[in-house]
Amino acid sequence: MRVNRAKLNELIAAKLHKAGLSKEHADGVADVLVHADVRGIHSHGAMRVEYYAERIAKGGINTEPEFKFEKTGPCTAVFDGDNGVGHVAAKQAMDEAIKMAESSGIAAVGVRRIGHSGALSYFVRQAAKAGMIGISVCQSDPMVVPFGGSEPYYGTNPIAFAAPSQDDRIITLDMATTVQAWGKILHARSRHESIPESWAVDREGHPTTDPFKVNALLPIAGPKGYGLMMMVDVLSGILLGLPFGNKVSSMYHDLTEYRNLGQFHLVINPAFFTDPGEFKQRISQTMDELNRIKPAPGIAQVLFPGQNSDHIQAEYEKNGIEIVDEIYEYLVSDIVHKNQYDNKDPFAK
């Protein structure tokens, strides 16, 4: 069904507040989740609310965190999220990184001890809206077989990038280092749809098209994706003194425990490298030139990264965001959660 953006934001915030978050933090999480849904990234939108609500209600997210921001050098800092909701901590850390980059030209901010933070595109677009380049990476559950391996070690370990143009368009890259993000598997399950066989393997290590039989994900481009997820793990885990590799906490193992996850923001101020107006003009030129490239057979138009989500957002803003009926029914119900995620095998139905 279709729900307008304001209503969806209100429903999500109300459910998270009922679960135990402060109104301020519930509103902050809802903003990030609705950002995902309105841009067609449903794997990181409203479908995550019940999981968050259960973890909040069971104490696995600190509902009264004491955030601490400490500058460690002229352009470096660490933001400690005290295991509060990752969405709010990561947003505030990016705000601080933008302020630092305004005066120092570049800012590298490690975000440590947080919960799951949702779609990284939200945070890098914060930087782009401030006229800067944003890069963000974060850890996730070990559920990916390394190239040549048969047991999961790394997570989907996403990478995001955004840069501003002269006309308010934003180039946006937000990608898992797996062929597909785990959230996409969950989205396929919620719709009872099959998945491409290149996404994942079953318990025997064979490719599967059944999202309910998935037992491990595959790295994008084989050894290249494997190398990228290792890089993300170093930046958002080892660099920040946090658990790493297969020691990263599971999303579902024990919802009463804090997750202690890490994220890493890098913000670059173009004004310290070139004329900022010229920089934005060239980004716009890049976008336009990509759109004018002759498309391959069967393709309507070459799009710049993030443009398809721009089109989806324009349509959803006009006609309402498409939400699975079951998820909407949960959001409007009096139920906080149905106790279905705690100590669950992440690959189980």
Residue 201: the pLDDT is 85
Q: Distance between CA 228 and CA 241 in Å, rounded? A: 19
Q: Among the options 25, 42, 44, 116, which is catalytic?
A: 116
Give the pTM.
0.93
Residue 17 one-letter amino acid: H
Architecture of domain 2-275+310-332: 2-Layer Sandwich (3.30)
For residue 318, count other CB atoms closer than 10 A to its CB: 8
Residue 204: the pLDDT is 80
For residue 319, count other CB atoms closer than 10 A to its CB: 10
Show the tokens assigned to 344: 């669950």
The residues spanned by each domain of the chain are 2-275+310-332
The DSSP element (H or E) to which 18 belongs, if any, is helix 5-19
Residue with tokens 């308010």: 168
The answer to whether 265 and 135 have CB atoms below 8 angstroms apart is yes
Distances (CA, A) of 191 to 176, 177, 251, 297: 21, 24, 21, 30
Q: What is the mean pLDDT of each run of 10 residues along the chain (349 residues)?
A: 96 98 98 98 95 97 98 98 98 98 98 97 98 97 87 93 96 94 82 92 86 91 96 98 96 94 98 98 98 97 98 97 96 94 70
Show the tokens assigned to 194: 């099959």
Among 343, 140, 346, smallest CA distance to 243 is for 140
Distances (CA, A) of 287 to 135, 171, 257, 281: 19, 8, 45, 10
Q: Has 116 been annotated as catalytic?
A: yes
Residue 106: the pLDDT is 98
Helices 5-19 and 325-332: crossing angle, nearest 10°? 60
